A and B are shown apart, each in its own frame.
Chain A
Amino acid sequence: MKSSGKIYSPHNGALFAALLLALSFANATWAGDWNLKDKDGAHYTLSGLRGKWVLVNFWAPWCPSCIQEIPEFNTLQHQHKDVQVIGVAVMYDSRKEVLDKVAKHAISFPTVFGNEDTAGDFGGLSGMPTSFLYAPSGKLIGHHQGPLTQNEIEQIIEQKPQAAALFTR
């Protein structure tokens, strides 16, 4: 009699799980690619930036080391047409706080309002700032935790051996 009152299959949970998994894969980005929307609404994807070196820099308004490297990236972006720098602001208290930093430091490269999900698309962060560098082929060169200089990035681009250890996979 216990079972006679049950109108639901014991497989309901499994069906629901399958539905969730299907939805999950439908929503997930393909491994290795990402889609970043900057503060002005422009979208940047790794695949769409093929042919350029791409530096994705995670920074926070309260992080002195992050602020320190902004002029370096501004100059890098200005002097190298084959490089695309994208700044992803995270752990901020308000968007205004980010926009104030953008204005104060005249950030000339795209700025993204990021969050944990954004960081998750890059595998997560262990410290600030953290930068991810991609070759023109789209291949991930590696990530670097801590501030970077324009010169260091240029050495990587020029494939100088002494710079190879800056970015780790």
Chain B
Amino acid sequence: MAIVVDLVVQLGQMLVVLALAPLLTGFVRKLKAHLLRRQGPPLVQPYRDLLRLLRKEVVLAHSASWVFRIAPYLVFAATWVAAALVPTFATGLLFSYAADMIAIVALLGSARFMLALAGLDVGTSFGGIGSSREMMIASLAEPAMLMVVFTLSLLAGSTQLSSIAASMQGPDVGLRVSLALALIGLLMVAIAENARIPVDNPATHLELTMVHEAMILEYSGRHLALIEVASYLKLLLYVSVIACVFFPWGIAVSGQGAAAYLAAVVVYVVKLAAGGFLLAIFETAIAKMRVFRVPDFLGAALMLGFLAVLLLFVTRAG
């Protein structure tokens, strides 16, 4: 009986994540529009876009292969599974021990691998631009992310997100410089991985500035819908990770009962809204970087992560 309840809660988390992801993106877009003194699209516009795309027919290029057709499903599946394994309103769920932070980062890497291949599949130069730039950004963002994971797991003694969240709520963490550095590094990686300004512009169609948009240029219909959902899920994943690691107050522990879960869901939605708010302000306040300044930016994130690991040893000694 208990296992059925656990299963239901785990499935509930997966559905919550899928349901909230387009809402987060809609919220960010609406907020950015307001900051630019525009009305902006309604909050539920991403859902409408997805429904519209799902109903349209797919236009495939003559040279597209089965990799092109399968990639959206695999990208969506990998990103959804990764997002579902991040504690959102409860830690210690039934399947949260299937993957730790390293595995979640690698799952996102699988999604990126398939997307980059899909970009190369049709054989146009735009796809090539997107894929090669995406792999360059990934080659610095993923190590930076892993350095942040190292810092957190050296502090918490575990790589499981549930254990990290639990130890961050504990008493002997304190205000450490390493945590501040890890937070800044994680923010920089999140911006790069989600193709946000200043690394990439999610609303552009100019080839000089495209990275993510260039890879998915040839996609249409239901395939495009799946890839869009995957990018919404990725943004939700990163905001959830930052919320559950650095602001873990209000997360329920598995087994506390339905009332605790509901309260935790409300807290989670508030955290998402705060994250979306800050993202919108940041994106509006800053300009996009040239592509070849991105390695400097991400190199700084990698250095910050590594510095965080080093500085951790200073206080562990004492």
A pairs with B: no
Query: Which residues of A line the B interface, CB within 8 A?
Result: none
Chain B interface residues toward A at CB < 8 A: none
